Amino acid sequence: MIKKTQPVCLTIMGKEYKIVCDEEEQDDLIQSAQQIDVQMRKMRDSGKIAGPDRIAVMAALNLAHELQVMKNQNTQLTQKLSESLAKLSSKIENVLENH
């Protein structure tokens, strides 16, 4: 199956970027650009960080940190789910063996 690519125009802090991506990834790309735009505007408006390069780096660090926290939470939840399923499976096996 051939994936169809298409250019998408994104605006981040007033600058336009044209990115080519697969059609099924467009919505995620647009949402990602909107998140970056929001983060960068917050930092710019706070007045604590000057310069678009520094703002971009700090926004990227904030979003990367948020992603890492979510990955860690996902790993913990997956481990807890696996442990719960193993316990449940063991209980079911015990019940079936005793009948």
From the list 40, 35, 32, the residue with the least C-alpha distance to 13 is 40
User: What confidence tens digit (pLDDT) does each residue in 16-63 have?
Assistant: 999 999 999 999 999 999 999 999 999 999 988 889 899 999 999 999
Q: Decide if 75 contacts 48 (C-beta within 8 A).
A: no
Looking up residue 80, the CATH number of its domain turns out to be 3.30.160.880
Instruction: Give the domain extent around 69.
Output: 5-97
- What pTM, to 2 d.p., does this model score? 0.70
Average confidence (pLDDT) over 67-72: 96
How many domains is the chain built from?
1
Share of the chain above pLDDT 70, in %: 99
pLDDT band at 85 (very low <50, low <70, confident <90, very high): very high
| Average pLDDT over the chain, rounded to an integer | 92
User: What confidence tens digit (pLDDT) does each residue in 2-20 have?
Assistant: 778 889 999 999 999 999 9
Whether 1 shows a pLDDT value over 70: the answer reads no
Q: Decide if 39 contacts 59 (C-beta within 8 A).
A: yes
- Residue 67 structure tokens: 């992603």
From the list 3, 36, 37, the residue with the least C-alpha distance to 22 is 3
Predicted confidence at residue 3, as pLDDT, reads: 77
